[in-house]
Amino acid sequence: MMKFIYIISFFIYFLNINNISAYKPRVYMRIPQHFVHDRVIQFLNTNRINNCFEFEESPTNLLLKCWRENQLVNVDINIDRKYQRRYIPDSISI
């Protein structure tokens, strides 16, 4: 019975470690205005993404299937608008 409890405890511990790493802090670096296009091109070139087929799933989501190092890879370019929705009150009363 104790062996079963140890196995379950290890499994729960492993899941917690996996979840913690999913929420790691990230530092976003500013890309100068009008240089976003160049940065995206640089990223694609660095990762040797070329020879692609495209599918525009929605106006804010572009799916690519590309050839990279003799393998087919998926590239997903998605514009997530949820961070643009901010609550700005019309007036403040005190």
pLDDT in tens, 9-57: 666 666 655 555 566 788 889 999 999 999 999 999 999 998 899 999 9
The reported pLDDT for the residue numbered 25 is 82
The reported pLDDT for the residue numbered 4 is 64
Where b means 16+ CB within 10 Å and e means fewer, 17-31 reads: eeeeeeeeeeeeeee
Where b means 16+ CB within 10 Å and e means fewer, 49-68 reads: eeeeeeeeeeeeeebeebee
The reported pLDDT for the residue numbered 89 is 53
